[in-house]
Chain A
Amino acid sequence: MPALRGVLAALAAILLLALSGAAFGHSPRELLSILFSGSVGSAFAFQNTLLKSVPLLLTGLSVVLAFRAGVWNIGGEGQFIVGALAALLASRYGAVAALLAAMLAGAAWSSLASLMRLWRNAPEVLTTILLNFIAIHLLGWCVNGPLREQAAMYPQTDLAAASLPRYAGVVIAVVAGVVAWWLLYRTKEGLRLRATGFNSSAAEWAGVNVRAQLARAMAISGAAAGLAGGIELLGVTHRLFERFASGYGYSGIAVALLAQLHPLATLASSFFFGALVTGAGELQRTANISSAVAVFGQAVVILVLLGFEHARRAR
């Protein structure tokens, strides 16, 4: 049962975290209690978790949509950044325009990889990763150069001209999750997308234009990641700086896999990872345990799920 596997994977991650802590002399009970209280134990913690979950939900959806079509979109990081850049530039026209620009930019960035695949057979696994790096350096150039703040003190931009209410992102992200579910399971487009992901040759015989479908899936996927960047800019950070993306794009992979590639389940899995990240931050503050354990937790979840999938296939 897929939900059970997800829960087991999540538990395995927590367990390994506690064990690793114990190996270095921390009390597992204390470690777990800090994780818990630091993520959902207080109203303040809960709010932080919620805010961290938003970009994870959207980048998770981005990966879900791509993987469901059988496409390797590892470019969430770059699409996130480009989306935020576009949102910044379009923010003078209002928040809605900015978010739309973010989605368009994300879709365009991912479509670069599609184009390279369609035109020159370049594998999107590599092109999307390369585009991540290009986007990171593009951002670096922008915040140090043409988009640098007026005061010119730090490598960051000025405040965006528009902003979102603090929790607007949560609403948008949840709506996006529902829309993604509806798209995948209640529309013809989603049907074709899933068919392509399951068995592209059979889909071709059933009348699906597989090449076009893959390109569309990449574009939608990029749009979701771009939207994540736009919301993070307009709702949380309000300006851009060098380490803006800080792994949200890559974490989307863990979110998607824990959700077993179901859009509605990403609501839960993004919350789990949001809690993990926030709790890990608290761990670093109070117990001086590196907050990078959250990333370690993501890895354990993925590996456990991969193991389950092998066991299932081998049966």
Chain B
Amino acid sequence: MLDALVDVIPLAIVAATPLLLAVQGELVVQRSGIINLGIEGMMLVAAMTAVLAAQTTKSVLLGFAGGIGGALLIALLFGVFVIALKTDQIVTGTAINFLAIGATSFVYRELQQGAIFVQAVPRPRVDYVLPLAWIAFPIILALFLWNTSLGLRLRASGENPEAVAPVARYRAIALMIEALLAGIGGAYLALVLSSGFAENMTAGRGFIALAIVIFGRWKLKGALLGTAIFGLAAALQYALQASARGVPYHLLLAFPYLVTLLILCGVAGKVRAPESLGR
């Protein structure tokens, strides 16, 4: 079984890439003081717009751009409500998810009749996203958050909004960064990992990302570690399935959430969220 596990590690890393991008995006946003439950919906919309863009332009690059565009639209909607109208972040995020599921499923079915989603999706020859997600972005984001004045103010917005003004600007920037990352993640999911869009294809990755952000204590190293562990746990089920042991599969899937609950309870030391998260 250990062999099966080792074989599966590269697969796990690739499969966990959208998740990692979502984690990094949500990390930045939460550091600025906003909790975005709607990241699930953001990625889902990005997946759809990526496929639409790629199929109409026959270009993978434009497909990724489309994904980012879709995510930015959702970020705009969320931002207007949460930053400008100061509505409740939890309820708004939940509504965004509903919106995304409803809208993407609706559009998918409509366009299927026009045979759009049936065509083959252009695939990239080289996977640039993988090193970006696992190496470049973490470094860039870390430098940004800890070594630039903008990143400093962004972090301050999440701790003590009164000490930084205008908070709205930094939170909006954080949301845009998240949209960029989630857009790439959704596009990668649809164009590279799958061969197109499928209803509800993000399958809860957004919520797992929320859990990993906490697991990683709102730090980038923690994000990498957490995603790697979760990716491994998911890959483990492939390995176990191969040995025809379907039973622990479900418990294994529950394992990441259990661990996160334990982390939230401070089992492994104190967990300290950004002070103004959610307010």
Binding site for B on A (CB under 8 A): 20, 24, 72, 74, 116, 119-123, 125-127, 129-131, 133-134, 137-138, 140-141, 144-145, 250, 253-254, 257, 284, 288-300, 302-303, 306-307, 309-310
Contacts and interface: CB of A to CB of B under 8 A. Distances in A.
Main secondary structure of the interface of A (DSSP, over half): helix
A172 B264 CA distance: 37
Contacts of A134: 254, 257-258, 261
B210 interface: yes
A291 B200 CA distance: 13
Contact of B98 (A24, A140, A250, A306): A250
A252 B258 CA distance: 24
A252 B168 CA distance: 31
A144 B251 CA distance: 11
A309 B86 CA distance: 10
A289 B108 CA distance: 10
B101 interface: yes
B214 interface: yes
Nearest to B247: A145
Interface of B: 35, 37, 81, 85-88, 90-92, 94-99, 101-110, 113, 199, 204, 207, 210-211, 214, 246-247, 249-251, 253-254, 257-258, 260-261, 264-266, 273, 278
B92 A138 contact: no
Contact of B87 (A133, A140, A298, A310): A310
B208 to A, nearest CB: 8
- Complex A-B, nearest 10 residue pairs according to Cβ-Cβ distance, in ascending order: A296-B102, A292-B105, A299-B99, A299-B98, A141-B250, A137-B254, A302-B95, A295-B102, A140-B250, A122-B264
Given A123-B264, A253-B94, A293 B250 contact: no
A145 B247 CA distance: 6
B102 A126 contact: no
A133 B257 contact: yes
Contacts of A123: 264, 273
Given A137-B253, A293-B106, 14 more contacts: A116-B261, A116-B265, A120-B264, A122-B266, A127-B264, A129-B207, A137-B251, A250-B98, A292-B104, A293-B102, A295-B101, A295-B105, A296-B98, A302-B91
B266 A140 contact: no
A64 B110 CA distance: 35
B88 to A, nearest CB: 7
Nearest to B77: A303
Of B95, B96, B98, B254, chain A has the most CB atoms within 10 Å of the CB of: B98
Contacts of A125: 35, 90, 278
B125 to A, nearest CB: 34
A297 B261 contact: no
A129 B85 CA distance: 25
A307 B250 CA distance: 40
B87 A309 contact: yes
A125 B250 CA distance: 24
A231 B144 CA distance: 52
A72 B35 CA distance: 14
A300 B77 CA distance: 12
B204 A133 contact: yes
25 contacts: A120-B266, A122-B261, A122-B265, A125-B35, A126-B214, A127-B261, A127-B264, A130-B257, A137-B250, A137-B257, A138-B254, A140-B250, A253-B91, A257-B91, A288-B109, A289-B106, A292-B106, A293-B106, A295-B102, A296-B106, A298-B98, A298-B102, A302-B98, A306-B95, A309-B87
